[in-house]
Structure 1
Amino acid sequence: MNVPYFAQWESRDLVADFLTGKLDSAEDPLWALSGAETPEEYAFWSPNVCGMACLKMHLAHTKDQVVPILELMKECRDYGGYKVDDEKEVSGLYYHPFVSYVKDKFGLSAEVKENISVNEMYDLLEEGHVFIASVHPSIRTPTTLPPKKGGHLVYVFAKDPLDKKIIFHNPSGHTTASQENVSLEMEVFNRYYAQRGILIRLESE
């Protein structure tokens, strides 16, 4: 399945440097493509928009629409999908406002899923749907043990029935191999997976 890939930063080849702090996100040469008004606005939001990157991939995949990632964020924020506190810390993505947003704006058939096992998610993929799954960001290096589950979102769109693998795009992958068409055994994926996320039923189903 040929699913377009987008990182949550515009320069996917620089993600490793942004993650390590070698580069500040404001130094991304492609920052303006995000829809941000300034490099500072881009740097503030880019570490927080993994969910919008997943949505961007879904829209490109199913509707041939490529929407700037911060345009999506601002619309979703207006629905209550993101909040910024007095300390200028971002909280979100809040799933229920996100679902309302994508239903109203794009006509997507989406629903929040809680306490959904990796096997149940696999069955939904079998039916032809996709899933924005909550995982720990260290899933980019799947030989490591995560300190907890959740905290990051990946776009799960396929499975390998022969080897029982989950196939997904990771908006914060630090190498090409950890970014797109990542294929992990279900038990490995489950180490990082928080048993929740957003199901998007494909329109053809």
Structure 2
Amino acid sequence: MTLCTTCGTPSLTQFASPDLVAKIVYEGHDRADDPAWRESGAATLEDYARWCAHLCGIACFRMALGPDAPSLFELRDGALKYGAYTEDTEGVIHGLIYAPFAEYARDVHGVEATVHRHLALDEILQLLDEGRTVMTSVHFEIRRPERPAPGRGGHLVLLTGRTPDGLLHLHNPSGIDARSRTAELSPEAFEPFFAGRGVSMVTRMGVSATR
């Protein structure tokens, strides 16, 4: 486990092998061909391969909980019991669903979690300044912010603070390299990817907002 030198938050991915993320998300690499899958806490390779692409939010939560957090799939199992993920009749996975997730975070992990169904960028800055981490809905291509944003939402990243010069410090569970897994973006660069919703949290880890 690698701790971020800027904020002390673990840098984790939703896939068990960080060096395979780029191949998985851009080259169609088979998620079942991940030699480290057992480290996720999944009971079987099939379960890992089916779920890992859906666990960006749980990976964010795991980072927010700190180095002693349960495994990715132990957190997934807990979230499932609260209805934070659902499966339709065709077996399609839906989630992370914010309200039951926040209930799970509060009840099981003692995390003060608040759902923000409508969240403006300046409100994110205020939440960070209050010492909260903020899990935000963004387009997954935020991992390559130098390119035009193709859309908003569909993926979750964890904002842990902002730098003295106002850059947002974020952890991306599907980052393809070290630079995109822990990144610093200006609010202006972040905004085109941002869907205007998220969940803010206060954890026992006590991450402060401004670096």
Whether TM-score is above 0.5 comes out as yes
Identify which of 122, 129, 136 aligns with 2:132. Answer: 129
Contact 1:149 1:194 in 2 (8 A): yes
The CA distance in 2 between the partners of 1:202 and 1:9, in whole Å, is 23
CA distance in 2, matches of 1:202, 1:71: 18
Runs of 4 or more above 6 Å deviation: none
Cα deviation digits, residues 134-159 of structure 1 (max 9, x gap)? 11101001022233211100010010
Q: Which of 17, 22, 34 is matched with 1:16 structurally?
A: 22
Within the alignment, does 1:94 sit opposite 2:97 as a pair? yes
Alpha-carbon separation, structure 2, partners of 1:73 and 1:130: 20
Q: Which runs of 5+ in 1 are unaligned?
A: none
Compute the displacement of 1:65 (Å). Answer: 1.7
Q: SS where residue 21 of structure 2 aligns?
A: helix
Contact 2:60 2:173 in 1 (8 A): yes
**Aligned-residue offset at 1:94:** 0.3
Shift of 1:67: 1.1
Whether 1:77 and 2:83 are equivalent positions in the alignment is no
SS at match of 2:160: strand
RMSD of aligned residue pairs (Cα, Å): 1.5
SS in structure 2 opposite 1:26?
A: coil
What are the superposed Cα offsets for residues 29-67 of structure 1, whole Å, 9 maximum, x if unpaired?
Answer: 11011111211110100000001101110111xxx4231
Taking the TM superposition and a 5 Å limit, the aligned residue runs for 1:1-205 are 1-60=7-66, 64-162=67-165, 164-180=166-182, 182-202=183-203
Report deviation, 1:202. Answer: 4.4
- What TM-score comes out, normalization by structure 2 length? 0.90
Alpha-carbon distance, 1:86 to partner: 2.1
Per-residue deviation at 1:20?
A: 2.2
Deviations 1:52-106 (A, max 9, x none): 101110111xxx4231111111110110100111222111100000000010101
The answer on whether the counterparts of 1:128 and 1:202 sit within 8 Å (CA) in structure 2 is no
| Long gaps (5+) in structure 2 | 1-6
The equivalent residue for 2:4 is none
Structure 2 counterpart SS, 1:112: strand
Question: What is the rounded CA distance, in whole Å, between the counterparts of 2:64 and 2:13 in structure 1?
Answer: 13
Work out whether residues 65 and 203 of structure 2, in 8 Å CA contact, stay in contact via their aligned partners in 1: no
Higher helix share: 1
| Offset of residue 22 of structure 1 | 4.4
Moved more, 120-129 or 20-29: 20-29
CA drift of 1:197 comes to 0.3
Contact 1:10 1:34 (8 Å CA) reproduced: yes
Contact kept, 8 Å, 2:64 with 2:203, in 1: the verdict is no
In 2, the alpha carbon distance for the partners of 1:55 and 1:172 equals 14
Using the alignment, how far apart are the partners of 1:130 and 1:194 within structure 2? 17
TM-score (norm 1): 0.93
- The one-letter code of the counterpart of 1:7 is T
